[in-house]
Structure 1
Amino acid sequence: MNSVQEGRVALVTGAGSGIGAAVARKLAAQGAQVVRADITATDGGVVVDVADPRQVDELVAGLGRLDVVVHAAGVDDPRAKQRIADALEAGRPPEVTASLDAEAWRRVMSVNLDGTFHVLRAAVRAMVPRRAGTIVVVGSSSAFDAPAGYPHYAASKAGVHALAQAVAKEVIPFGVRINVVAPGPTDTGMAARTPAVLRQAFAGLPYATPEQIADVAVFLAGEESANVAGAVVLANGGRFTV
């Protein structure tokens, strides 16, 4: 019996590590032909900066066929995290926004929000004419709990959620499904760079593994979720609900 993704062409962004790498492995194990894309060279993958629309468009156009997209590429802001950590250790509220420069704001927005637009647009262009396709975007629980001192990241992910849901409503009549998985703290390289005091703030609940979040993404990318479109699925271990 064929695997559930047998013969399908899947593009995974952010596939060099963490959630994206776990998704790529799981889709490949299910029989998909996986194109792994990342900002840096990956084993057998392609280099693409999702903040650059030309690179994204050229990558997708070159595939010829596209059945599944899992968009996991994203960035955080280590300097802002350190300022939050310093404030926690000093027993004072974090003060980040007043000193947040336009460059830091633009970096987070250009990758997280603009990059999602570029990937969604390219994927829709490829899928709508075929009247088929599934897209999964990796968002963040930060879009809901909006951590103090992290306004640019929270805003970028909230924008990602709204963007994906708006496009999902537009393309579902054409047979294309878009959903979002919104992880909480996850044990990725990004989390490993998080200051210890911030990691301890989440000590009440375990960090998810990339594989656990990938399981949700792969479910949303498969036929088992055929009636799910425009959803934002919280995957934060019950840290909070909305």
Structure 2
Amino acid sequence: MSGEHAGRFDGRIALVTGAGSGIGAAVARGLAAQGADVVVTDVDGAAAGATAEHLPRAHPLTLDVAESAQVDTVFDEVVRRHGRLDVLVHAAGVDDPVAKEWIAEALVADRPPEVTRRLGDDAWRRVMRVNLDGTFHVLRAALRVMVPRRSGGVVTVGSSSVFDTQAGYPHYAASKADAHAVSQSVAKEAIAFGVRVNTVAPGPTETGMAARTPAALRRGFADPRVRSYATAEEIADVALFLASAEAANLVGAVVLANGGRFTV
């Protein structure tokens, strides 16, 4: 995080989902370094606590974004403690390690992946509940808090896989595409009330999720013509820009941050 942005979020109250690791944790660190009071949330409460303990003015809370009642309770707690919410970065999300293994096995065997006909309802719903339903729950709660004050900056973390879908990964691609659409629809509604919503769509990024990706699949993402895997901090920098006053004219944007792998 560049020192030139010190103080960019002075006096702001921020909430980050999925902040126990990866992009969410990097965003929480960046917000704190730039002056914000940060509510650090994660489905893994211990991980949220581990992120928060190294930050000034940080408070950890356990949050499963797939559970709407939990989301509402956390946002109510933020308002009770701080009186408002100025910035939200929604980074919580899940992948499907089993489907990734099936894709990797196909790559190693030099055959097309066969996932869709093997994909169970539970696997489909798990990804959709967190990545899509969770995005709706969080955006709804944010607007309930921000709209009455006619102010707020919201960033959702999507995926470049929306535009370059992975064979054998239909539930993840669908969940992120739908989350982009939800974010953009909410953005067009919310701006009338002074609340900006935007999305960053990362390509391959070095996170705990990426570390669990099978080696064969990681090699499949390698391309010497483009930048290698982004760092979580690089994606966090984009999210922080979108949340800041510097991005005042960006509403409903989907910023593709994939190191040049493709454009849209």
Category of TM-score, reference length = shorter chain: over 0.9
State the shift of 1:63 in Å: 1.1
Cα distance in 2 between the residues matched to 1:46 and 1:127? 20
CA distance in 1: counterparts of 2:67 and 2:24, whole angstroms = 19
Alpha-carbon contact 2:6-2:33 (below 8 Å) kept = no
Correspondence for 2:11: 7
Partner of 2:251: 229
Residue among 228, 241, 244 paired with 1:219: 241
Matched with 2:56 is none
Is structure 2 residue 43 aligned with structure 1 residue 56?
Answer: no
Could you tell me how far 1:2 is from its partner in structure 2?
A: 7.7
Q: Distance in 2 between matches of 1:202 and 1:39?
A: 28
Normalising by structure 1, report the TM-score: 0.98
Task: Flag as ranges the 4+ runs of structure 1 deviating above 4 A.
Answer: none
In structure 2, C-alpha distance between the alignment counterparts of 1:95 and 1:124, rounded to whole Å: 41
Identity %: 68
The alignment of Structure 1 onto Structure 2 pairs a total of residues equal to: 242
**1:10-49 correspondence runs (5 A):** 10-41=14-45, 42-43=48-49, 44=52, 45-49=60-64
Q: Structure 1 CA distance, aligned partners of 2:86 and 2:74?
A: 14
Letter in 2 for 1:30: Q
5 Å-filtered alignment, 1:108-119, equals 108-119=127-138
Query: Which residue number corresponds to residue 57 of structure 2?
Result: none
Query: What secondary structure, in the 3-state scheme, does the structure 2 residue paired with 1:113 have?
Result: helix
Alpha-carbon displacement from aligned partner over 1:140-165 (angstroms, at most 9, x marks no partner) = 00111110000000000000000000
The code of the aligned residue for 2:243 comes to A
Could you report, residue by residue, the CA deviation over 1:165-211 in whole angstroms, capped at 9, with x for unpaired residues? Answer: 00000010110000000000000000000000110012114000000
TM-score under structure 2 normalisation?
A: 0.90
* Structure 1 residue 81: Cα displacement: 0.2
Q: Which runs of 5+ in 1 are unaligned?
A: none
Which residue number corresponds to residue 231 of structure 2?
A: 209
Q: State the SS of the aligned residue for 2:255.
A: strand
Alignment of 1:16-165 (within 5 A): 16-41=20-45, 42-43=48-49, 44=52, 45-64=60-79, 65-165=84-184
In structure 2, C-alpha distance between the alignment counterparts of 1:99 and 1:198, rounded to whole Å: 19
The residue identity in structure 2 corresponding to 1:134 is G
The CA deviation string for residues 111-132 of structure 1, in whole angstroms up to 9 with x for no partner, is: 0000000000000000001000
**Structure 2: any 5+ residue segments left out of the alignment?**
53-59
For the residue of structure 1 that corresponds to 2:235, the secondary structure is helix
SS at match of 1:145: coil
**What RMSD, in angstroms, separates the aligned Cα atoms of the two structures?**
1.0
Q: Secondary structure at the match of 1:211?
A: helix
